[in-house]
């Protein structure tokens, strides 16, 4: 065979193989809950993947169920309880910022929902000003939130699964006036990062190994960087990222809108270096949104307009 032709065929074969490299849906999506008069959304796996927490339309209330769709129970019917909630590392509790309305004023508070005792408790009083979202410390015995130019720390009453020293060294993250802040609880100090000057950031998500952070640029692309501000990678368009358990990949959605409402959405996976980008859903008639990646490569997501939560299994 002519050398030039052989080289061309080799490149064509390599290109064809590369185009199919990456992730694929190993098992079709399975409906777990929703529809038929019920509208559920925003599923999030517990760290041990035994449960899914989720909410209703407009983030009203907070629910939990087993990973097979059984054992459904409502933890809260409070406004905003389903926005920005976070699992404890032992999969036994949830943190949330809940809201109530009195005389046209909105009041917010941080609340803990303990699945072991089936009890909830307020970690703060109700306030008219609470822009931050609560997060767990690495040890679970503390929760923190950025509020009014300071880091507030709360006792959760949870036992610590790690040493106090490990907790002190683990990085914390939050938004400060639309900018990225990384710090630690031991010193209550933090550093502000603005990797793209004069931009506003949202949807910060710390990797499970606590070495990287993924975030969106408002009106721009999805990015990932090291927690020291180095290694910035532009991943292209993307919304609401969530990490794979091994901290090597992100699952996210790419949504299209007209400035008022969503018109389309699909779920993608991408490696943190920007390679292996894969459209997992690739549908024209459904809007798959709000993915969450659980161990065993199970992706939970909801479908807008249906109000249904699904789970699919993916593989490489």
| DSSP secondary structure code for residue 158 in this structure | P
- pLDDT at residue 192, as a whole number: 95
CB 266 within 8 A of CB 281: yes
CA-based angle 153:154:155, to the nearest 5? 135
Closest by Cα among 90, 76, 69 to 300? 69
Closest by Cα among 220, 225, 183, 189 to 202? 220
- pLDDT at residue 165, as a whole number: 60
C-alpha–C-alpha distance, residues 207 and 272, integer Å: 11
Whether residue 127 is predicted with pLDDT greater than 90 in this model: the reply is: yes
Question: Each residue of 71-103: pLDDT tens digit?
Answer: 999 999 999 999 999 999 999 999 999 999 999
Range 25-55 burial, b when 16+ CB lie within 10 A, else e: eeeebeebbbeeeebbbbbbbbbebebbbbb
Give the mean pLDDT of 220-246.
97
- pLDDT at residue 43, as a whole number: 98
Q: Is the pTM here over 0.95, yes or no? A: no
Environment class of residue 276 by beta-carbon count within 10 Å: exposed (0-12), middle (13-18) or buried (19+)?
middle
pLDDT band for position 158 (50/70/90)? confident
C-alpha–C-alpha distance, residues 248 and 154, integer Å: 31
- The structural domains of the chain, ordered by start, are 24-315 (2.120.10.30)
33-42, 106-115, 186-195: which range is least confident on average? 186-195
C-alpha–C-alpha distance, residues 113 and 53, integer Å: 11
What's the maximum distance between 2 C-alpha atoms anywhere in the chain?
A: 83
CB 298 within 8 A of CB 311: yes
Q: Over the chain, what is the mean pLDDT?
A: 90
């Amino acid at each position: 065979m002519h050398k030039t032709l052989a080289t061309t065929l080799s490149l064509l074969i390599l290109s064809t193989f590369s185009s199919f490299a990456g992730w694929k849906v190993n098992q079709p999506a399975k409906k777990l809950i929703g529809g038929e008069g019920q509208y559920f959304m925003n599923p999030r796996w517990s760290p041990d993947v035994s449960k899914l927490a989720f909410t209703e339309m407009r983030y009203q209330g907070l629910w939990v169920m087993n990973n097979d769709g059984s054992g459904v129970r409502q933890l809260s019917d409070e406004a905003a309880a389903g926005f920005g909630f976070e699992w404890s590392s032992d999969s036994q509790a949830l943190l949330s910022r809940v809201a109530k309305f009195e005389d046209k004023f909105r009041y917010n508070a941080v609340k803990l929902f303990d699945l072991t005792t089936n009890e909830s408790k307020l970690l703060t009083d109700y306030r008219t000003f609470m822009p931050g979202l609560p997060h767990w410390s690495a040890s679970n015995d503390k929760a923190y939130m950025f509020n009014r130019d300071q880091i507030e720390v709360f006792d959760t009453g949870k036992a610590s699964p790690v040493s106090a020293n490990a907790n002190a060294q683990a990085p914390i993250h939050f938004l400060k006036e639309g900018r990225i802040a990384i710090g630690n609880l031991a010193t209550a100090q933090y550093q502000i990062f603005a990797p793209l000057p004069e931009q506003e950031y949202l949807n910060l998500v710390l990797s499970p190994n606590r070495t990287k952070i993924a975030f969106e640029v408002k009106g721009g692309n999805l990015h990932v960087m090291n927690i020291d501000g180095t290694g910035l990678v532009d991943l292209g368009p993307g919304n609401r990222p969530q990490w794979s358990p091994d901290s090597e990949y992100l699952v996210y959605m790419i949504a299209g809108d007209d400035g008022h409402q969503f018109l389309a959405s699909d779920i993608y996976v991408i490696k943190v270096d920007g390679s292996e980008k894969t459209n997992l859903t690739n549908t024209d008639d459904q809007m798959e949104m709000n993915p969450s990646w659980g161990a065993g490569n199970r992706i939970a997501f909801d479908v807008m307009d249906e109000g249904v939560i699904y789970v699919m299994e993916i593989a490489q």
